[in-house]
Structure 1
Amino acid sequence: MHLLKRMTLMGVAVVSLSGITYTAQTANASTYSTVSSTTMTKTAYHKKSTTGAVYNASHTKKVATLKGYPNTTWYATKKVVLKHNGKNAIYYQVKNGAGTKSGIIWHSYLTKGVAPFNVKYAKNAVAYDATDNKVVWSKSANTARPIASVSKLMTLYLVDKKVAGSGYSWSSKVKTNYSGLVAMGKDSACGGFRFTKSSYTVKQLYDAALIDSSNNAAIALGQWVAGGSTPTANKKFISMMNAQAKSWNLGKAKFVSSSGLEQSDLKAFGYSIGGADANMVSAKDVALIADHLITDYPSTLTTASVKSMTLSGQPLYNYNNMLSGRKYYQSSLKVDGLKTGYTPKAGYCFVGTGQKSGHNRIITVVLHDENEFTETQSIMNNAYSKNLL
């Protein structure tokens, strides 16, 4: 009887038949071997299309797909020639700007230059350097559009301004017994903090307006700033909002609501003042309002970073999901504010701010977005990775 043995060792087939040994080279079609590696001047590249991927050095595992990193700049530092199926191909050894992804990629998947950056869903957006006071990136940032509860940033600025003046404090009382505000607090669509008392302190309503985005709390505060407690004072306060915008040379800001609710919603509660239906403000002007607020009154960030609390027996919940412990938190970005907003007309709006270690503070604004937190992350990371601030 003949004894047949077959073994494969290191790509060599060894066959033993009747004591006679034969050897034959076998090729592994999936194997990539390095032919040469040459250091090159660090050069920026970005995706030519969504095709392609970055692999580990042995080309056995995907590190990142270009489709998954559409706005990434890849920095090449070596030219590597690999042999596969008997053919040589040029690869680049690359790393992204943040230094979190690195590997090799076929050179034809890339094109030279820093990646152009854009966001997909936000209709208007801006990244603002709050330390050097300059716009570092924008998308239709000078086009005015509805901004929903982001409007409260201007309201809160004027509240801070009054508290900082003489004769007033955070413990000053604000009347909250007007029937329209009481009804608004109970409304499922327009409500917020329910007014169960005839008055609250300025600090209590400030917390309700900033943390929980309470509409009736914002309106009550505005009326207090204007010196009253009825819709007449509300109308006066809105004039003050527009005057403040004018003093800052915000040419793309027009207010008709202290809360951000549209006139069509406010009418049922006696707070429609006529004219345009919604506050119309550009992303850039929103960023400037936010900058004035946190620069002139930095304690705002302490309140804005509160994730939840109980006030007068009612829960206040902060919908900023980029804060620590929330779904979109990213530790390196150190986001500590600032304000969310939504109405069907305005879409999802978000003003974010934070200061990454070693960089200036950033303020970002996205208006009429569908993925406001992920796109804010992208805007912030893009600005930091490109050392724009």
Structure 2
Amino acid sequence: MTITSSNRFSRIILITVVALLSMLSFMSLKPAAASAATYSVVSSSNMTKTAYHRASSKGAVYNLSHTKKLANLSSYPNTTWYATKKVTLKHGSTKAIYYAVKNGAGTVSGYVWHSYLAKGKAPLTLKYAKAAVAMDAKTDKVLWSKNANTPRAIASVSKLMTLYLVEQKVANTGSTWNSKVTTSYSGLKRMGTSSVYGGFKFTQNSYTVKQLYQAALIESSNNAAIALGQWVAGGSTPSYNTKFISMMNAQAKKWNLGNATYVSANGMEQSALRSYGYSVSGGDANMVSAKDVALIAKHLITDYPAVLTDSSRGSLTVAGQLCYNYNNLLPGRKYYDSALKVDGLKTGYTALAGYCFVGTGQKSGHDRLITVVLHDEDEFTETRSLMQYVYARNLI
């Protein structure tokens, strides 16, 4: 039989119509199929409040009818969940045990399949930090650590040692916070205008010690830190910078910091400092372990607690220039947690060192806590998690 073009076209139309009708018919059946697959409660019983943490990142927290996902366990790697009820749910012909859980803060609650949970409080895992430590500032006790004794580049966290030696000179000599520091060296003026290493511009040939101290601490000014170091060493030229770095290493030795070596006053690498007229013999970067950074911070805070007055400022105008504090755990900032009482201390970043942060705070009834994270990608989230973990476990 010969099929004409007209017949062939009619058959194509007919097949298309049948296919569309079949698809519409299938779609109309989907809600009925979904409603038949709901979850129902078979039994429920209260249980003694028990701590659990995630056993798998694949799980999720649902409402009781299992129609709404409330949270993914993958977003709560360090959270302890507290179960107060055991529920058996039926889904089709399958029954499964779920726990009614709530996080410690009470902000998330729902039901989780029991096999996605493991008994016990959540261990802490810092995903990004290459090294980290939490320390009791009163006892020097290490409360939690990760590669804490491995020296690493620490970027502008280096300024804590510089600021300590500035405080020491003001406290122990005839110098005052109003003493003048010479800032006329051309390399420092160029550094202040750099899009990468600048921030606080040297528009004057001298500033007070207090002005440069605040610029170095709050704005993390690199030229201010070098100028202060030269002043501590007794001059205002690069040769005094070399002398000051020797003083930094001597102080580290005095404190028995076996994993701390300095080659710059501000944390910039030698490869970057060289073009501004500042370089010394030795390696390319300051290399300090997380534990030794925490000890340096402890000495600074303990011996000169007034540093926290400036480190807790969100911003400050110094000599007509706005100095912005990049500590995002301070009040009003993105990662602020009022329970942690964070009031310091120092941020840092270079491509070599990654993001570094020294945090500190003191809750009522507790010793002061110091935390350090080095070469991090999420330094404020991980610092907050570390602090919360220490307090949740009553480690301090």
Q: Same fold (TM over 0.5)?
A: yes
For structure 1, the residue ranges without an aligned partner over 5 or more in a row are 1-26
- Return the alpha-carbon distance in structure 2 between the equivalents of residues 346 and 143 of structure 1: 13
Q: Give 2:292's aligned residue.
A: 285
Q: Give 1:275's aligned residue.
A: 282
- Return the alpha-carbon distance in structure 2 between the equivalents of residues 58 and 386 of structure 1: 33
Q: Give 1:142's aligned residue.
A: 149
Deviation at 1:352, TM superposition (A): 1.3
Q: What does residue range 1-389 of structure 1 map to in structure 2 within 5 Å?
A: 29-33=37-41, 35-40=43-48, 42-57=49-64, 59-85=66-92, 87-389=94-396
Instruction: Give the counterpart letter for 1:350 in structure 2.
Output: F
Secondary structure of 1:133's counterpart equals coil
Deviations 1:63-83 (A, max 9, x none): 432111122222333333334
Quickly say closer, same or farther: Cα 1:170–1:84, change in 2 above 3 A: same
Contact 1:33 1:84 in 2 (8 A): no
Q: Which stretch has the larger CA shift, 377-386 or 237-246? A: 377-386
Deviation at 1:86, TM superposition (A): 5.3
Contact 2:39 2:89 in 1 (8 A): no
- Return the alpha-carbon distance in structure 1 between the equivalents of residues 315 and 139 of structure 2: 32
Deviations 1:295-334 (A, max 9, x none): 1111111101122222222221111122111222222222
Contact 2:77 2:125 in 1 (8 A): no
Deviation at 1:234, TM superposition (A): 1.1
- Return the alpha-carbon distance in structure 1 between the equivalents of residues 395 and 207 of structure 2: 44
Q: Which stretch has the larger CA shift, 180-189 or 50-59? A: 50-59
Q: Which stretch has the larger CA shift, 171-180 or 271-280? A: 171-180
Contact 2:360 2:371 in 1 (8 A): yes
Secondary structure of 1:188's counterpart equals coil
Instruction: Give the counterpart letter for 2:194 in structure 1.
Output: D
Deviation at 1:170, TM superposition (A): 0.7
Of Structure 1 and Structure 2, the greater strand share is in 1
Contact 1:148 1:343 in 2 (8 A): yes
- Return the alpha-carbon distance in structure 2 between the equivalents of residues 74 and 308 of structure 1: 38
Deviation at 1:192, TM superposition (A): 2.9
- Return the alpha-carbon distance in structure 1 between the equivalents of residues 59 and 266 of structure 2: 48
Secondary structure of 1:364's counterpart equals strand
Q: Which stretch has the larger CA shift, 344-353 or 42-51? A: 42-51
Quickly say closer, same or farther: Cα 1:215–1:357, change in 2 above 3 A: same
Secondary structure of 1:219's counterpart equals helix
TM-score, normalization by structure 2? 0.86
Deviation at 1:32, TM superposition (A): 2.3
Aligned pair count reads 362
RMSD: 1.9
- Return the alpha-carbon distance in structure 1 between the equivalents of residues 82 and 334 of structure 2: 30
Contact 1:211 1:303 in 2 (8 A): yes
Quickly say closer, same or farther: Cα 1:98–1:135, change in 2 above 3 A: farther
Q: Give 2:4's aligned residue.
A: none
Contact 1:97 1:386 in 2 (8 A): no
Deviation at 1:208, TM superposition (A): 0.7
Quickly say closer, same or farther: Cα 1:57–1:31, change in 2 above 3 A: closer
Q: Which stretch has the larger CA shift, 345-354 or 309-318? A: 309-318
Of Structure 1 and Structure 2, the greater helix share is in 2
Q: Which stretch has the larger CA shift, 253-262 or 309-318? A: 309-318
Contact 1:332 1:357 in 2 (8 A): no
- Return the alpha-carbon distance in structure 2 between the equivalents of residues 38 and 310 of structure 1: 58
